[in-house]
């Protein structure tokens, strides 16, 4: 009994101490985590602010973009617009919720593309272009390089591909890049299925950026400071509808990223007449303050299980290989660059590249007398991609 008493006394002291911490303001580790999350939410869901520049200054150029190379294909809208629109002087912002942050691997990395794990560089099908293969993502792209580009655009076919794991995501997009091979700057926009970020498997419109190849900078949408939204008509992270169906009607979004020569801002256009907002390159970027040197169009799958066996089943594009072509394979049409003389044109030179041809591949198809249509994508794991 004498030996038991000290142990019993110690137990009572610890129990009362624990009760005291819960009743009289002591903070548990769970409470600390939730407090950190709530502080992060306040930063992300901050009050509206007025942007410095409300419209691009290239009015004559915008008119040229709207009237040249119009697409006859059905276009896609955002589902939130069915419920109304934003009041004048405001913009739609998708709220970040507590459960969104609880899914994140860390608060610091919430909303960011995972940093790349780079292998030694490999060449595209044109030996002038070298791309560093990345271990945790797989790309299938059309690309052009070698000039000082001040804009790019395309019509991107919209699907809802299968995503196997909550940690995976898939995109179809445009990249506007400059800088060093392993430390590039990039401005990006397109559609994605990203359950880790958005909490579901719906197809959503996104923007993204980085100044150091995703190592420590940049993010999707409004999950960090960077992209300045000015349009009341488009929500970053908003659900897109309707979607393309196999052997059925094909839908697309028209996107363009253009540099304002007066302010240095890179403006994002949606459709033919919606200016979504801009990246303030002079304060955000180093190389892209001047121009872009590489433009890419296509798809990307992020997964810890690409380039290994068993491969992820997360699909790219429609989930079909490009050889199936129109109505089955995902495509990008009307690919354009803007050269230093403000000429909007199909690139003089293009190459194609796929990290894993047996999993996701490319086909830049050109019919006689017509402009090329770029098909891309694939199912991920199958008999060709075990």
- Catalytic residues, by residue number, are 188, 300
Question: Among candidates 286, 288, 266, 287, which has minimal Cα distance to 277?
Answer: 266
Question: Among candidates 345, 327, 328, which has minimal Cα distance to 336?
Answer: 345
Question: Among candidates 73, 275, 79, which has minimal Cα distance to 155?
Answer: 73
What are the strands, taking DSSP E only, across the chain?
Answer: 77-78, 122-123, 130-131, 137-149, 151-157, 169-180, 183-193, 204-210, 219-220, 228-229, 240-241, 252-259, 266-270, 274-279, 292-302, 330-338, 344-345, 351-354, 361-365, 373-377
Contact 198, 237 (CB under 8 A): yes
Contact 90, 231 (CB under 8 A): no
Query: Using the 8-state DSSP alphabet, how is residue 264 labeled?
Result: -
Q: Which residues contact 158 (CB under 8 A, 6 or more apart)?
A: 76, 172, 191, 203, 240, 243, 244, 251, 252, 253
Give the separation between CA 114 and CA 187, rounded to whole angstroms. Answer: 16
Q: Which residues contact 187 (CB under 8 A, 6 or more apart)?
A: 175, 176, 177, 207, 209, 257, 266, 279, 288
Read off the tokens for 315: 């699909």
Q: Which residue has the tokens 């691009």?
A: 56
66 to 62, 255, 344: CA distances (angstroms) = 6, 11, 11
């Amino acid at each position: 009994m004498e030996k038991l008493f000290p142990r019993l006394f110690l137990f009572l002291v610890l129990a009362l101490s624990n009760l005291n911490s819960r009743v009289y303001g002591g903070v548990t580790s769970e409470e600390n985590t939730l407090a950190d999350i709530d502080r992060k939410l306040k930063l992300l869901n901050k009050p509206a602010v007025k942007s410095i520049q409300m419209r691009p200054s290239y009015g004559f150029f915008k008119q040229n973009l709207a009237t040249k190379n119009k697409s006859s294909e059905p276009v896609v809208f955002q589902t939130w617009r069915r419920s109304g629109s934003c009041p004048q002087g405001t913009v739609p912002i998708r709220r970040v919720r507590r459960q969104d942050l609880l899914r994140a691997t860390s608060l610091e990395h919430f909303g960011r593309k995972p940093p790349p794990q780079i292998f030694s560089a490999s060449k595209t099908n044109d030996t002038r272009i070298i791309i560093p293969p990345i271990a945790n993502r797989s790309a299938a792209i059309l690309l052009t390089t070698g000039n000082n580009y001040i804009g790019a655009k395309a019509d991107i076919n919209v699907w809802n591909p299968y995503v196997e794991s909550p940690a995976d995501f898939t995109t179809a997009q445009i990249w506007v890049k400059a800088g060093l091979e392993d430390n590039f700057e990039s401005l990006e926009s397109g559609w994605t299925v990203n359950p880790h970020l958005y909490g579901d498997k719906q197809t959503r419109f996104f923007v993204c950026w980085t100044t150091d190849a995703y190592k420590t900078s940049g993010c999707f949408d409004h999950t960090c400071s960077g992209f300045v939204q000015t349009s009341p008509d488009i929500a970053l992270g908003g659900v897109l509808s309707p979607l393309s169906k196999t052997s059925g009607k094909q839908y697309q979004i028209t996107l363009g990223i253009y540099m304002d020569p007066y302010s240095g801002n890179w403006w994002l256009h949606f459709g033919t007449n919606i200016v979504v907002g801009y990246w303030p390159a002079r304060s955000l970027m180093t190389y892209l303050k001047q121009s872009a040197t590489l433009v890419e169009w296509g798809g990307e799958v992020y997964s810890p299980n690409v380039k290994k066996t068993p491969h992820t089943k997360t699909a790219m594009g429609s989930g079909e290989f490009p050889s199936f072509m129109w109505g089955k394979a995902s495509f990008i049409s009307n690919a354009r660059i803007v050269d230093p003389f403000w000429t909007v044109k199909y690139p003089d030179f293009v190459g194609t590249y796929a990290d894993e041809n047996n999993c996701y591949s490319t086909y830049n198809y050109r019919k006689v007398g017509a402009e090329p249509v770029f098909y891309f994508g694939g199912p991920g794991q199958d008999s060709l991609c075990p």
